[in-house]
Amino acid sequence: MYGALLGDMIGAPYEFDRGSKTKHFPLFNDESQWTDDSVMTIAVAEALMQAGDGAEEQVKEELVRSMQAWGRRYPDAGYGARFIYWIFAEDPAPYGSYGNGSAMRVSSAGWLYDTLEETRRYARLTAEVSHDHPEGIKGAEAIASAIFLARTGHTKEGIKDFVIREFGYDLARTCDEIRPTYFPYRDLPEDGAGSHYRFPGG
């Protein structure tokens, strides 16, 4: 959890393709700050701990309650354009998002459960309340699974092989091969599923 929150803060100044894509940068600077991903990471962790081993619908209700409560407490943290409406909706429903938000908030699912099956199940539930597109669900399950496998002693190669086999991600390229042409916000969907909107002052 510390890693997820610190990673969000350290990476915040370079989001939206800012920076020179180098490994040589200060961990913290004047622009370091927590973002929507930290807020939702805490909200999801709180919800999963509160829900315990409840039925799926109970878990989803607790997720929605916690995510809306935390989101409304910090409305200018930089949420996606459609997700901010979800936060304030009277009857929030999943909207088919395949943005990365479901993967960015799921880390607690990788720590809270004793089996990989449970980890994947709860990761799926954390995605389905908003990011119910198959890609949104897959991203959450993949991240939570990788965290579970890492904390239970699996090697990097073993985790990589599992993610490729189970989720079909192409992990063949190195970071150095990806960096020169990777622009994550170049081809955003028109519905704003992967975009971020930061309120004035946020």
Q: Within a domain: residue 193?
A: no
Position 166 in a domain: yes
Average pLDDT over residues 50-71: 97
∠ Cα 123 105 43 (to 5°):
100
In the predicted model, is pLDDT for residue 178 greater than 90?
Answer: no
- Note the pLDDT of residue 69: 98
Are 88 and 74 a contacting pair, CB within 8 Å? no
Residue 133 domain-assigned (yes or no): yes
The gap from C-alpha 197 to its chain's centroid, in whole angstroms, comes to 16
Distance of CA 143 to the CA centre of its chain: 8
Residue 21 has pLDDT above 80, yes or no: no
Residues 6 or more apart whose CB falls under 8 angstroms from that of 6 comprise none
CA distance 41 to 121: 17
For residues 46-59, average pLDDT: 96
Q: Does residue 143 form part of some domain?
A: yes
Contact status, residue 122 vs residue 148, Cβ threshold 8 Å = no
Which CATH number characterizes residue 73's domain? 1.10.4080.10
What pLDDT score was predicted for residue 188? 45
User: Taking all residues of the chain, what is their mean pLDDT, rounded to a whole number?
Assistant: 90
Instruction: Count the domains in the chain.
Output: 1
Asked whether residue 72 carries a pLDDT value surpassing 60, the answer given is yes
Domain interval for residue 101: 2-10+35-181
Residue 46 has pLDDT above 80, yes or no: yes
Q: Tell me the pLDDT tens digit for each residue of 93-125.
A: 999 999 999 999 999 999 999 999 999 999 999
pLDDT band at 68 (very low <50, low <70, confident <90, very high): very high
Q: Output the pTM of the full model.
A: 0.88
pLDDT at 14 (0 to 100)? 87
Token pair for 177: 């091969």
Distance CA 85, CA 195 (A): 13
pLDDT band at 193 (very low <50, low <70, confident <90, very high): very low
pLDDT at res. 184: 62
Domain-located, residue 85: yes
Distance in Å from the first CA to the final CA of the chain: 23
Of the listed ranges 8-22, 121-135, 183-197, the one predicted with least confidence: 183-197
| Residue 108 backbone dihedrals phi, psi, to 5 degrees | -60, -30
Q: Which residues contact 149 (CB under 8 A, 6 or more apart)?
A: 116, 158, 159, 162
Within-domain flag for 92:
yes
Cα(64)–Cα(113) distance, rounded to whole angstroms?
20
Confirm whether 22 is domain-assigned. no
Within 13 Å, how many C-alpha atoms sit on residue 179's CB side?
A: 9
Q: What is the DSSP letter of 181?
A: G
pLDDT above 50 for 197: no
Instruction: Answer yes or no: are the C-beta atoms of 49 and 112 closer than 8 Å.
Output: yes
**Position 28 in a domain:** no
Q: Higher-confidence residue: 163 or 189? A: 163
- Going by C-alpha positions, the residue among 99, 154, 152, 166 that lies closest to residue 130 is 99
Q: What is the pLDDT of residues 1-19, one digit of tens each?
A: 899 999 999 999 988 777 7
